[in-house]
Structure 1
Amino acid sequence: MRYLDEFRDPELAKRLLDDIHATAKHPWAMMEVCGGQTHSIIRHGLDQLLPDGIELIHGPGCPVCVTPLDVIDKALEIASRPEVIFCSFGDMLRVPGSGRDLFQVKSAGGDVRVVYSPLDALELARANPDRQVVFFGIGFETTAPPNAMTVYQAEKLGVENFSLLVSHVRVPPAIEAIMTSPACRVQAFLAAGHVCTVMGLGEYPPLAERFAVPIVVTGFEPLDILEGIRRVVHQLEEGRHEVENAYPRAVAAGGNPVAQKMLEDVYEVVDRSWRGIGMIPQSGWRLSERYRAFDAEHRFSVGDIRTKESALCRSGEVLQGLIKPHECAAFGKECTPRNPLGATMVSSEGACAAYYLYRRMHLPGTGPREVTPVG
């Protein structure tokens, strides 16, 4: 990739759209997995340029949004302790816990710091041997390797005052959970390109075959997404369900073997709760037994914290693609970026934040509806 503008070219976008319009003969519903793709779609109005029968369903691919409420509360409890320097990327500071967020902990005197790499947190631990330094490790397969590398380095260097609060989740089990839900309307997936740069394509063919759904690995710029949609529409109209790589400039079929080896060494696969969705079997990671000493949940004995989701917030249904953000009665009223009920309203990849930011407050002919969520 030389220039960003190459992937936002209006003439090329028109050609892709012309092909989609010419090919689509039936109504189809496809899900973009990644929240970054959702923001690009809403920002550029791509969904409004598609044929009337082509629906884009927003999936659970925002790592901040799916971090469980009890994990947020564990972070708040740890960050409140005077001996702790709590480090996080900036997008977690506004995410609401049961009654407060990390910004409020910081304003009350907690030592909460924004860092740009987990290695920054490790350096803080080395520079402050009398303090406990905790890094909040969240995300999909994309961010798991650098967090794993940091724990690996901490063990290698003997930095005993560093630990990781882990909330890593995996995409393929989430696709399986979506497809086995009785309320599922998804007929194809636009898979997240950055996840596949790490994991490759190997986990997707069994899902495509089992559920008879096309899966196209897609990038994040407008032309990337339109090309992904074009390939999905062609597959659906032709009755095919294959895995295609529409993001070859970043994704290799085998992914990144070095990163995969690091994941296998540092983590073990476990059942994991997703905020607003519930428990998805084998959908997450935690630190393996060898690195358990660096597990902040274990070190600070916060494993017993349990929480209850807001009855007013319907972000779980948004994350499952069962409703659009504007279909939640609290959207733009009780729930705004200043006073969020859920993480989807404050995350930089949250669907509710995208709809609010780009003024997609309602769509003609739609309204709230009752649905049956996963779980």
Structure 2
Amino acid sequence: MMISSQQVSCPRLGFIGPVSGGGKQTIPTPGEFLAERFHEEGCSVVAESAYRGKAARLLDVCNILIRHNRNIDILVLSVYLGQGFFLEDLASLVAGWLRIPVVMVLHNGLTPAFVSLFPEWTSRFFRRARVLVAPSAFLPRSLRPFGMTVRVIPNPIDIGLYPFRLRKQASPRLLWMRSFYPYYNPQMAVRALTHLKEKHDDLSLVMAGKDKGLQLVVSQLAAELGVEAQVAFCGFLQGNEKLDRFDQADIFINTNNVDNAPVSIVEAWAMGTPVVSTNVGGIADLVQDGETGLLVPDDDDRAMAESIERLLKSPDLVRKLSAQGYEQAKKCSWQAVLPQWKNLFEEIGGRR
């Protein structure tokens, strides 16, 4: 995909990373968000197309870097490691041959573990970056022992799309939103309900997200634990339907086993929905316990239920988390994040 625009003061940017494809069950990736917003700012942008197969993506990446290399001053490479690391490695290698400065944006909360498993390979890879960027302080701190310096620039959102509503008190209407995948531990959300069911007749939990193989397991668990009447599965949410679900909920729960800086928490803040989350990975670098959310130990459903109960009994705490979460969301707005990217690009200065 080639997006072109002209603005002398803006560097010509290339973006490589996973692409959602714009389908009905997709949301823009952080890399896509940046590419679209910089295009709107007047930059010349070359971005990866929505090819699904590995071979097609490989050809597309080579096409971007070789065919369009004279149209790129700086390459922004989204780094998720895992199965996509071979392509990310190749893209950084080709960019190096072509003398294109590379900004690597690190997204995976398991990056430190991956670096520990493959120290030589990842060391060669990361040395090709002019600058490393991560959305929270978690990865900079975790990668410092490996001799890596990482700059923090938050994952941005278009905050104007999220209507804010200050919560003054909370009812037991809960929202969980992530893919049904082991890392996101959806079973914990269901188990937490068992500690709340007897106290609250109006208890409800909406679980939203793509089924990555666990939704049936979670549904069966809800039936086994006797909370199937309290749980609603609404599939993947986007647009107004997602905004409606956030507005209807009074508490957003995040149960991940592994995470870096989930945009879903920032979205909850932008809507004024208080957050209760597991304290894993970079969550504590994003959420300040007792100030912008409540944190509980990993996989501790009883502690999560107790934190939910705490909110239900404390309107003052609800109001505080709602208001201060929104202030935190504003720090992740595109208006706040754009200058940080512009400063970074100015420091790099493009190709030499």
Q: Is the TM-score greater than 0.5? A: no
Greater helix share, structure number = 2
TM-score (norm 1): 0.31
TM-score (norm 2): 0.32
